[in-house]
Structure 1
Amino acid sequence: MNIKPFIPFEPVRTDEIPEGDQWISQVKWDGVRILTYSDGKNVRLFNRKLNERTFHYPELLAIKSYCKEKSVILDGEVIALGDDGKPSFHEVMRRDGIRKLERINELRKEVPVSYMIFDVIYCKDEWKNDLALKDRLDLLKQIIIPNEHIQIVPSQSDGNTLFEVIKQQELEGIVIKDLNSKYLINGKDNRWQKKKNYRDIIAVAGGATMRQGVVNALILGLYNEDGRLMYVGHAGTGKLKKAEWKELTERVKPLMINHCPFINKPLRIKEAIWLEPRITVKIKFIEWTKDKHLRQPSIQAFVNMSPEECLFE
């Protein structure tokens, strides 16, 4: 199998959960989308941005331990649990964003991960993307051997009930899929839909504020259609621990500039430092205000993403 990695089928956002016998719903885990490519000899892992993650998740490479077939392409999500026992994007990014791969064995103990598999696109030397989802799910049950860290994502017929459970558990959301849908490689359409329990974006830091010499908040922006950086809010709360704030302080020092990079004036700019827009971060928030500012933004994790991709949708 000599297959070039591809962008996985992406769901579109929805506010209404579709109903009917052809629809199933699955938990949307707060993790990292990972496709596993195995040709029977080598196993390689890629995320949805086509960045290789083979060395980040070595526990997924022993594919014989959880898959009966040698040549497969599996689609799923790698998750890590936080202190509250729930999937945490911040924790999984400690693995996904690691820069020194020699630390991976140490981090395997600190941040164990699980692989939540929900689709199979290639199997037994044949493409399966033209099969209906219901047939791909049947095939998945035949070939996957679940264990403590490998699971098949369960499907539910009642999306509204599942979403209520998701809200009670404060999880990310659900994905609603048409059982008759083929797998659309390198694309997205409404045969797969996602409903979020909360909203999130990837923003770029154009500034920061400090307290006693340590960064305590980031000043965030998104690029408009003209490619100009617009201020959208401050985020000083979230998942970061004291050591991570100190690490961030060292990281921003080489990026300091003497002018504001935003085209609109940020709020609370007294004692702000301005940064070259290079650091990207996942932000959880409640809603947009009329002024196009984020309401109650909180930092979830830093991500490896080009700043130019941080756009207003």
Structure 2
Amino acid sequence: MLATPAEVLPRGDEWRHEIKWDGMRALIDVRDHRVRVFSRTERDVTIAFPELASPASGLADFEDLLLDAEIVVMRAGRPSFAALAERFNVVDPNSADELASTAPVTAMVFDVLRVMRSPVTGRTWRERRDLLDSIAPTSKWVSVPPEFADGEALLDATADQGMEGIVSKRVGSKYSPGLRSDDWRKTLHRRTGSYVIVGWRRQQAGSVLGSVLLAEPTEVGLAYRGRVGSGLAGRKGVTLARDLLPLRRETAPVVTGVPDVDARDAIWVEPHLVADVEFHGLSDAGRLRQPAWRGLRSDLTVADLQIRAASPNGDE
């Protein structure tokens, strides 16, 4: 179930509010005490998060359970998407174990969808939340964050703490799998988005990756949204260049609106990888204003962005 962007913060007793965690949406599926973790694209990513599948997480204590959660890596009391992005593509168990010790995740569980083989999506949010609180699957790596009645106070507090925003939920609403519902509304402090990498440019007087060129799928094809270099210095740029080299192509993909200054000396790639960036709105020309790199989104595909483009409230 997805949230609709809110123009005005919903108020009243029929709403409750939660922190919007800046991480990776996931379903945690426990069957016969075996824990599996799935991304939004239904990809099994359990191997990337061994701490959640371990007995110490407490999740395996349950016989049968399906939880909706946001997986985060905390840094100085706040989620760090950059630290989490390093864990998306891990397929080697040894690497996963090492990252679990240096950049452990926390599953912020906010909903329960099945208990003891019985779906509960038809119950109200209030009933599901009370059920989740009674189960209380908490450990070093699993947390059930609190709900709040005062949305305005929570919005102010999350702004002060540099958080992404809040999600407001109608207490009498049911869970609608796969749908973007007005019963869940999100209010953000800053804008983030996912875009397709269509090319990259070297640093001036060097061979190291300096910036990447981004495009957004629209109903009529890929539209250029600018380039981002902030946040790609050092190891991140080297690693990203390594990912992009196998995708190199001789001609530019079909992208509308690429200015000559950006196309000049660009190294074009097949539009397969999805990048996450933070930015301050769009310019009149449709370019990202002051974009900063956040990481690759292996949990999203170009097809996901195309589906989003066809949605009237298309975003994550």
TM-score when normalising by structure 2: 0.89
1:237 and 2:210 aligned: no
After superposing the two structures, state which structure 1 stretch, 48-57 or 34-43, moved more. 34-43
CA shift in 2, pair 1:10/1:221, >3 Å: same
Residues of 2 paired with 1:302 and 1:203: CA distance? Answer: 10
What are the within-5 Å matches in structure 2 for residues 33-48 of structure 1?
A: 33-48=25-40
Residue aligned with 1:165, SS? helix
What are the within-5 Å matches in structure 2 for residues 139-288 of structure 1?
A: 139-211=131-203, 212-226=206-220, 228-238=221-231, 240-261=232-253, 262-266=255-259, 268-269=261-262, 270-288=264-282
Residue aligned with 1:16, SS? coil
Deviations 1:118-152 (A, max 9, x none): 11111133221111111111111111242322211
Residues of 2 paired with 1:214 and 1:268: CA distance? Answer: 19
After superposing the two structures, state which structure 1 stretch, 121-130 or 56-65, moved more. 56-65
1:47 deviates by 1.5
The one-letter code of the counterpart of 1:31 is G
Residues of 1 paired with 2:57 and 2:83: CA distance? Answer: 25
Q: In 2, are the aligned partners of 1:97 and 1:303 still within 8 Å (CA)?
A: no
Residues of 2 paired with 1:267 and 1:176: CA distance? Answer: 44
Q: In 2, are the aligned partners of 1:77 and 1:116 still within 8 Å (CA)?
A: yes
Residues of 2 paired with 1:44 and 1:147: CA distance? Answer: 17
1:284 deviates by 1.0
Q: In 2, are the aligned partners of 1:133 and 1:178 still within 8 Å (CA)?
A: yes
Gaps of 5+ in 1: 1-8
Residues of 1 paired with 2:108 and 2:179: CA distance? Answer: 21
Residues of 1 paired with 2:224 and 2:217: CA distance? Answer: 9
Match of 1:135 in 2: 127
1:216 deviates by 1.0
TM-score when normalising by structure 1: 0.90
Match of 1:79 in 2: 72
The one-letter code of the counterpart of 1:265 is V
1:27 and 2:22 aligned: no
Residues of 1 paired with 2:252 and 2:116: CA distance? Answer: 56
Match of 1:70 in 2: 63
Gaps of 5+ in 2: none
Residues of 1 paired with 2:209 and 2:93: CA distance? Answer: 26
Q: In 2, are the aligned partners of 1:175 and 1:195 still within 8 Å (CA)?
A: yes
CA shift in 2, pair 1:308/1:264, >3 Å: farther
CA shift in 2, pair 1:122/1:43, >3 Å: same
The one-letter code of the counterpart of 1:310 is L
Match of 2:301 in 1: 306
Q: In 1, are the aligned partners of 2:30 and 2:62 still within 8 Å (CA)?
A: no
Residues of 1 paired with 2:261 and 2:159: CA distance? Answer: 33
Number of matched pairs = 302
Residues of 2 paired with 1:65 and 1:294: CA distance? Answer: 40
Match of 2:2 among 2, 5, 10: 10
1:119 and 2:114 aligned: no
CA shift in 2, pair 1:48/1:306, >3 Å: closer
Residues of 2 paired with 1:126 and 1:251: CA distance? Answer: 43
Q: In 1, are the aligned partners of 2:29 and 2:65 still within 8 Å (CA)?
A: yes
CA shift in 2, pair 1:291/1:156, >3 Å: same
The one-letter code of the counterpart of 1:229 is L
Residues of 1 paired with 2:53 and 2:89: CA distance? Answer: 19
The one-letter code of the counterpart of 2:171 is L
1:296 and 2:285 aligned: no
Residues of 2 paired with 1:267 and 1:101: CA distance? Answer: 45
The one-letter code of the counterpart of 1:121 is L
Q: In 2, are the aligned partners of 1:43 and 1:63 still within 8 Å (CA)?
A: no
Residues of 2 paired with 1:62 and 1:101: CA distance? Answer: 13
Residue aligned with 1:34, SS? strand
CA shift in 2, pair 1:148/1:64, >3 Å: closer
Residues of 2 paired with 1:308 and 1:79: CA distance? Answer: 24
Residues of 1 paired with 2:25 and 2:260: CA distance? Answer: 35
